Amino acid sequence: MSEDDRASDGTTPTGDPDAVRTDRETTDGETTIAGTILRGREFDPVEGRVVVEDGDVVAVEEERVDSDAVVLPAFVNAHTHIGDSIAKEAGGGLSLEELVAPPDGLKHRLLRAADDPELVAGMVRSLRYMERSGTGAFLEFREGGVEGVDQLRRALDGLAIDPTVYGRGDASVLDVADGYGASGANDTDFTEERAAARDAGKPFAIHAGEVDASDIDPALELDPDLLVHMVHADDEHLRRVEDEGIPVAVCPRSNLVTDVGLPPVEELREHTTVALGTDNVFLNAPSMFREMEFAAKLYDCSASEVLGMATHAGADAAGLNCGVVEPGREARLLVLDGDSDNLAGAQDVVRAVVRRAGTSDVEQVVLP
């Protein structure tokens, strides 16, 4: 998307010229967005206005307003692999190892076979979809070393979605990435890369417990800043995660597709911060709406807990100042049409956002 394709006020267009627009006013650099605001970390619904200045929320004002909009934090997708956007739905029926195990899993073979323009164009399409569907920030595990990170940066040109890029390859990738994203402790020895990330003052993240539990303890020995999956975590692993304060990104739809089991989300939440991610684009659409609905109907978690996993939990895991509508936070906001055919008549707005809202309900995505 070029700069010309973006609205002058920093919003992402929905593509529907007849869409109901949010009550918003801009005066002297200050923008107000009116509607039902899901305020704070508990997403308390209040009627009023969000006041935005210089890309930050400066106030949430409670007052009567004439607006059907629902204003909430834009999503933070806590685990993505968008490099494989060139191969959507490839490899049906293959095991997880056959699909993604380095160096010769199907994904890696397809990535090697694709040329640079094809890879970048595929990522552009996924990033545009993510932004239009309400994702304001994402945590990307990027294959391909320095070149792979460069491809992602080029794909992001003209978009406002905020990446935290965990590069992969040798330690030199830390020169251009925001952190290091290891595949799994059973794949190779990541001691050198872990030390390099620590020396660079950058986070180290690693997949663990996806296929089985054998790589969880070795992953924990690396003192990671973020764990991904933890499908096969046992009580001892959970206690250690809690003691060491390590957040976990879970990807339930991906785990279902690859038939490795499902992460114990309720138990994980009792011990640490748990954030939602969508994982590989070639396995699942990078839709946080779909991920939330799936999680809400699968686990014994409240709607506000699931929405927190899709917003501030990912922000907390990556040290981002977004994911909550409150003063002092970045104004990465999602505005839904509460009077859409899908959402009209909702008795519990938070539950409706989590369990039934979708991209067609998006009015605006407001990003700095």
Q: What is the pLDDT of residue 7?
A: 45
Q: How many CA atoms lie within 13 A of 172 on its CB side?
A: 6
End-to-end CA, the chain:
16
Class level of CATH domain 75-318: alpha beta
What are the pLDDT digits (tens) for 153-167?
999 999 999 999 999
Helix (H) or strand (E) holding 53: strand 44-53
Q: What is the pLDDT of residue 217?
A: 98
Q: What is the pLDDT of residue 242?
A: 98
Non-local CB neighbours of 112 within 8 Å, separated by 6+ positions: none
Q: What is the pLDDT of residue 90?
A: 80
Q: What is the pLDDT of residue 11?
A: 54
Rounded to whole angstroms, how far apart are CA atoms 17 and 246? 44
Secondary structure (DSSP) of 152-211: HHHHTTT--PEEEEEE-SSGGGGGTSSEEEE--TTTS--HHHHHHHHHHT--EEEEESSS
Q: Is 335's pLDDT higher than 80? A: yes
What are the pLDDT digits (tens) for 185-217?
999 999 999 999 999 999 999 999 999 999 999
What are the pLDDT digits (tens) for 14-60?
444 333 344 677 777 799 999 999 999 999 999 999 999 999 999 99
In the chain, where are the structural domains located? 3-74+323-366, 75-318
The pTM assigned to this predicted structure is 0.91
Over residues 281-299, the mean pLDDT reads 97
Q: Which of 43-52, 94-103, 136-145 has the lowest mean pLDDT?
A: 94-103
The domain covering 3-74+323-366 belongs, at the CATH homologous superfamily level, to Urease, subunit C, domain 1 (2.30.40.10)
Rounded to whole angstroms, how far apart are CA atoms 44 and 24? 21
